[in-house]
């Protein structure tokens, strides 16, 4: 009777072991353990946030690899970034990811040395006026970054 459950249990354990998380040696190589040829105190990744007020508010998060080695960004889901707009009092007015569904699959994105990538979205700010703060977040598990820019809607 016991052997009847042993084979399926061993098969399930083998599948769980084969599909489980693995350490990524490439990502470990690009961290502080390797000597880098950057300027002193310069981060591996640099971010900038562009905000353009036109028909709506165009938000663009730019991420640049400052290293001489490639960097692998690891994302725990299909969400790679997020944008949030805060009003003058700091209250959240809009969040790009709100109401969206993202795959629950791990994904990686490689940035070659000095390569950049950008994430862009548009906020329909109809009827809004005043000073706001845009917050852009890179949702990478190994390089979580955030940058902010203040802007005004006339």
Average pLDDT over residues 129-153: 93
Percent of the chain clearing pLDDT 90 (strictly above): 57
CA angle 131, 133, 137 (to 5 degrees): 165
* Domains in the chain: boundaries: 43-153
Pairing of strands 130-138, 81-86: antiparallel
In the predicted model, is pLDDT for residue 28 greater than 80? no
Among the residue ranges 18-27, 71-80, 122-131, the one predicted with the least confidence is 18-27
Residues 6+ apart with CB under 8 A from 39: none
CA angle 123, 125, 128 (to 5 degrees): 150
Q: Is 131 helix (H, G, I), strand (E, B) or coil?
A: strand
Strands (DSSP E) along the chain, which ranges?
Answer: 45-54, 56-65, 71-75, 81-86, 92-95, 107-111, 116-123, 130-138, 145-153
Q: Is 119 helix (H, G, I), strand (E, B) or coil?
A: strand
In the predicted model, is pLDDT for residue 112 greater than 60? yes
In the predicted model, is pLDDT for residue 76 greater than 70? yes
Write down the CATH number for the domain with range 43-153: 2.60.40.2360
In the predicted model, is pLDDT for residue 147 greater than 60? yes
Q: Give the per-residue pLDDT at 11.
A: 54
Mean pLDDT taken over the chain: 80
Percent of the chain clearing pLDDT 70 (strictly above): 73
Total Cβ atoms within 10 A of residue 133? 16
Pairing of strands 81-86, 45-54: unpaired
Q: Give the per-residue pLDDT at 55.
A: 83
């Amino acid at each position: 009777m016991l052997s009847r459950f042993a084979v399926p249990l061993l098969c399930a354990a083998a599948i769980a072991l084969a599909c489980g998380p693995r350490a990524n040696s490439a990502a470990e190589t690009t961290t502080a353990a390797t000597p880098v040829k950057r300027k002193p105190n310069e981060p591996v990744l640099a971010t900038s946030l562009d905000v353009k007020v036109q028909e709506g508010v165009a938000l663009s998060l730019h991420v640049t690899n400052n290293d001489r080695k490639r960097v692998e960004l690891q994302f725990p889901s299909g969400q790679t970034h997020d944008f949030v707009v805060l009003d003058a009092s700091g209250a959240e007015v809009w969040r790009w990811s709100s109401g969206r569904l993202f795959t629950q699959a791990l994904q990686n994105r490689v940035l070659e040395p000095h390569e950049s990538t950008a994430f862009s979205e548009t906020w329909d700010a109809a009827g809004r006026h005043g000073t706001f703060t845009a917050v852009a977040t890179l949702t990478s598990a190994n390089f979580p970054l955030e940058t902010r820019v203040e802007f005004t809607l006339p």
